[in-house]
């Protein structure tokens, strides 16, 4: 095809100056038929570029594209190289092209896909594989008392589906534990998750939309590899889908008050509720939400092999009794760590006290609600048995169950030592239940001794156990019948009697 300037010259010379086609063709050194064509052409339509289909690369391009999209869900170290793709094409797809051709195509496609992803500005509601997260609150009946507990909701706007779990608090450890449980149950990780400015995740909001994340949340994001987004302050509508789903979950699954005996067991039942709810049509797309949820699944990132430790570590100094304070709750350590620094591992349901060598000193269940102190007595009983008079008037002494505090107050110093040594042997897992029963049983006839308490304890412990009759090893001799008088003694002196 001639250039625009050449076509313009032909039309000017022939149509306006009256030159012959042959003269113009001779001057331009082209075929006279070409001059005739352009001199008389009526329309100059834009010629569409024809897409050439490569006989070699054409059949395998969709395969390579599929591999590239699969790799983008994985960590970079697990991506296929162009060389590896070429080898697989040759081995499994009878590819006849060169390694260089594959390498060039892979490089080009990766660049195109990255540019598309970086330039995409679609709202989360329209993109499969994305999620929104927020906490809600609902009343629960726990130990005959109605209490408010938070529940964590992860919603999937594309499919209008959700997952949720109930927790004792909205702290960082509960947030990360909830997210990790959901990822593991889903079998994947959403590509992008939008949050409100939750304090468990955001330490500080800076200018120009920047956030300073909490250390544990930042490590969690790096571990699972998802992109995070945060709403602008006061703009809850930017995560409108999850806010609507928080209300939906409360109204349809948590009201009236659910009875909770064991929170972990209760949470296990919630997965099935979320799955059953997907068996309804999408409010706009008129397709089953379960089908749309599968499209969400296809876009999720692959789970890392290892679990993330949803815990934070910090060092703190114990007081003179070996007590530490975590989030305004008190936890015992050991008398030998009084006024010393210890390391604390804080998870959503436990407080683990460690020494400088990371050896476990003691493990507590994490406290929530009104209870303020957790005492594990085993580490203290040896000290108590050696110094009962000194400890008697301390606050530690009052942490015993009331029945034991009253009993020890009525003991002599020597009796206290014996009793505390007995407690050191019998107390297991900080459970005073059986010991309380034993003390009450032994106290029926007055102030009991240590031996009486011990006897009652083992009697209660062995209740209901079957006992096998004892069979003597040696043969017991047959004794003569009882006869009044002394004549029965003669049997011992007769031949063949017992005395022989």
Choose the final residue of a domain: 92, 119, 146. 119
Sign of the alpha-carbon torsion through 333, 336, 341, 344: negative
Choose the final residue of a domain: 430, 445, 461. 461
Question: Comparing 42-51, 223-232, 343-352, which segment has the lowest mean pLDDT?
Answer: 42-51
Domain membership flag for residue 495: no
- Asked if the model's pLDDT at residue 485 lies above 70, the reply is no
3-13 confidence digits (pLDDT tens): 766 777 787 67
Question: Comparing 23-27, 63-67, 203-207, 210-214, which segment has the lowest mean pLDDT?
Answer: 203-207
Judgement on whether residues 168 and 293 belong to the same structural domain of the protein: yes
- Asked if the model's pLDDT at residue 488 lies above 70, the reply is no
Average pLDDT over residues 415-430: 85
Separation of alpha carbons 165 and 263, rounded Å: 10
Judgement on whether residues 111 and 130 belong to the same structural domain of the protein: no
Judgement on whether residues 253 and 337 belong to the same structural domain of the protein: no
Domain membership flag for residue 309: no
Domain membership flag for residue 491: no
305-325 confidence digits (pLDDT tens): 899 999 999 999 999 989 999
Determine the pLDDT at residue 500.
47
Average pLDDT score, the chain: 84
Judgement on whether residues 226 and 81 belong to the same structural domain of the protein: no
Judgement on whether residues 113 and 249 belong to the same structural domain of the protein: no
The C-alpha angle with vertex 371 and arms to 148 and 408, in degrees rounded to 5, equals: 155
- Asked if the model's pLDDT at residue 74 lies above 80, the reply is no
Domain membership flag for residue 48: no
- Asked if the model's pLDDT at residue 22 lies above 70, the reply is yes
Judgement on whether residues 369 and 394 belong to the same structural domain of the protein: no
Structural domain containing residue 106: 58-119
Determine the pLDDT at residue 474.
58
User: Strand 130-142 vs strand 192-195: parallel, antiparallel, or unpaired?
Assistant: parallel
Question: Comparing 48-57, 430-439, 473-482, which segment has the lowest mean pLDDT?
Answer: 473-482
**Where do runs of H (alpha helix) occur along 187-288?**
215-224, 240-253, 263-277
Separation of alpha carbons 438 and 287, rounded Å: 65
pLDDT band at residue 142 under the 50/70/90 scheme? confident
Judgement on whether residues 85 and 170 belong to the same structural domain of the protein: no
Q: Phi and psi (nearest 5°) for 244?
A: -65, -35
Domain membership flag for residue 251: yes
Domain tally for the chain?
5
Judgement on whether residues 281 and 347 belong to the same structural domain of the protein: no
Average pLDDT over residues 94-112: 88
User: Strand 258-259 vs strand 341-346: parallel, antiparallel, or unpaired?
Assistant: unpaired
Query: Of 83, 194, 41, 181, which is closest to residue 129 (Cα–Cα)?
Result: 194
Determine the pLDDT at residue 219.
92
Per-position DSSP letters for 70-92, written without gaps between them: HHTTS-GGGSPPHHHHHHHHHHH
Judgement on whether residues 354 and 446 belong to the same structural domain of the protein: no
Average pLDDT over residues 105-115: 82
325-334 confidence digits (pLDDT tens): 999 999 999 9
Question: Across 75-178, where does the E strand assignment appear?
Answer: 130-142, 145-156, 161-166
Determine the pLDDT at residue 332.
93
Judgement on whether residues 386 and 424 belong to the same structural domain of the protein: yes
- Asked if the model's pLDDT at residue 490 lies above 70, the reply is no
Determine the pLDDT at residue 469.
42
Question: Comparing 21-35, 62-76, 178-192, which segment has the lowest mean pLDDT?
Answer: 62-76
Question: Comparing 16-25, 180-189, 354-363, 477-486, which segment has the lowest mean pLDDT?
Answer: 477-486
- Asked if the model's pLDDT at residue 418 lies above 60, the reply is yes
Judgement on whether residues 23 and 102 belong to the same structural domain of the protein: no
This prediction has a pTM of 0.64
- Asked if the model's pLDDT at residue 51 lies above 60, the reply is no
Question: Comparing 43-57, 58-72, 233-247, which segment has the lowest mean pLDDT?
Answer: 43-57
Per-position DSSP letters for 397-417, written without gaps between them: GGGS-HHHHHHHHTS-HHHHH
- Asked if the model's pLDDT at residue 139 lies above 90, the reply is yes
Average pLDDT over residues 102-127: 71
CA atoms within a 13 Å half-sphere pointing along the CA-CB vector of 61: 10
Average pLDDT over residues 254-273: 95
User: Strand 130-142 vs strand 145-156: parallel, antiparallel, or unpaired?
Assistant: antiparallel
- Asked if the model's pLDDT at residue 465 lies above 60, the reply is no
Domain membership flag for residue 498: no
Judgement on whether residues 234 and 343 belong to the same structural domain of the protein: no
Choose the final residue of a domain: 376, 397, 422. 376
193/445: higher pLDDT: 193
pLDDT band at residue 116 under the 50/70/90 scheme? low
Domain membership flag for residue 12: yes
Determine the pLDDT at residue 208.
65
pLDDT band at residue 43 under the 50/70/90 scheme? low
Q: Phi and psi (nearest 5°) for 227?
A: -85, 140
| Helical (H) or strand (E) element with 183 | helix 172-186
278-299 confidence digits (pLDDT tens): 999 998 888 999 999 999 999 9
Domain of 211: which CATH number?
A: 3.30.420.10
pLDDT-above-70 percentage for the chain = 83
Separation of alpha carbons 353 and 346, rounded Å: 9
155/392: higher pLDDT: 155
Average pLDDT over residues 466-486: 54
252/389: higher pLDDT: 252
Domain membership flag for residue 466: no
Determine the pLDDT at residue 423.
87
């Amino acid at each position: 095809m001639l250039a625009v300037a050449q076509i313009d010259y032909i039309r000017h010379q022939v149509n306006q100056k009256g030159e012959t086609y042959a003269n113009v063709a001779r001057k331009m050194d082209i075929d006279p038929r070409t001059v005739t064509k352009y001199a008389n052409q009526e329309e100059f339509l834009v010629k569409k570029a024809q897409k050439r289909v490569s006989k070699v690369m054409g059949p395998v391009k969709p395969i390579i594209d599929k591999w590239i999209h699969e790799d983008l869900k994985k960590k970079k170290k697990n991506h296929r190289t162009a060389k590896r793709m070429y080898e697989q094409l040759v081995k499994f797809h009878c590819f006849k092209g060169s390694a260089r051709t594959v390498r060039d195509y892979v490089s080009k496609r990766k660049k195109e896909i990255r540019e598309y992803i970086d330039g995409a500005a679609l709202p989360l509601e329209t993109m499969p594989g994305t999620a929104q997260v927020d906490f809600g609150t609902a009343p629960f009946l726990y130990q005959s008392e109605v209490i408010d507990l938070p529940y964590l909701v992860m919603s999937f706007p594309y499919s209008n589906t959700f997952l949720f779990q109930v927790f004792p608090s909205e702290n960082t450890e509960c947030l990360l534990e909830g997210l990790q449980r959901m990822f593991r149950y889903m079998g994947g990780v959403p590509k992008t998750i939008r949050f409100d400015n939750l304090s468990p995740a955001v330490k500080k909001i800076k200018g120009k939309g920047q956030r300073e994340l909490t250390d544990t949340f930042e490590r969690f994001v790096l571990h699972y590899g998802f992109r995070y987004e945060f709403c602008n302050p006061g703009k809850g509508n930017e995560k409108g889908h999850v806010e609507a789903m928080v209300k939906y979950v409360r109204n349809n699954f948590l009201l009236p008050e659910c009875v909770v005996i064991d929170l972990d067991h209760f949470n296990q039942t919630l997965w099935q509720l979320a799955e059953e709810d997907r068996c309804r049509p999408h409010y706009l797309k008129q397709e089953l939400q379960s089908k749309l949820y599968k499209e969400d699944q296809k876009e999720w990132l692959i789970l890392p092999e290892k679990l993330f430790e949803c815990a934070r570590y910090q060092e703190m100094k114990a007081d003179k009794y070996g007590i530490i304070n975590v989030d305004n709750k008190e936890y015992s350590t050991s008398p030998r760590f009084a006024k010393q620094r210890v390391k604390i591992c804080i998870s959503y349901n436990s407080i683990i006290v460690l020494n400088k060598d990371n050896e476990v000193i003691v493990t507590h269940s994490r406290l929530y609600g009104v209870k303020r102190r957790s005492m594990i007595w085993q580490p203290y009983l040896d000290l108590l048995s050696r110094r009962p008079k000194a400890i008697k008037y301390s606050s530690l002494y009052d942490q015993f169950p009331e029945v034991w505090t009253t009993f020890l107050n009525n003991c002599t110093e020597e009796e206290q030592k014996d009793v505390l040594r007995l407690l050191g042997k019998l107390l297991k897992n900080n459970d005073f239940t059986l010991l309380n029963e034993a003390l009450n049983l032994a106290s029926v006839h007055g102030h009991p001794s240590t031996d009486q308490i011990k006897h009652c304890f083992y009697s209660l412990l062995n209740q209901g156990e079957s006992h096998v009759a004892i069979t003597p090893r040696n043969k017991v001799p047959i004794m003569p019948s009882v006869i009044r008088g002394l004549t029965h003694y003669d049997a011992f002196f007769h031949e063949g009697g017992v005395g022989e």
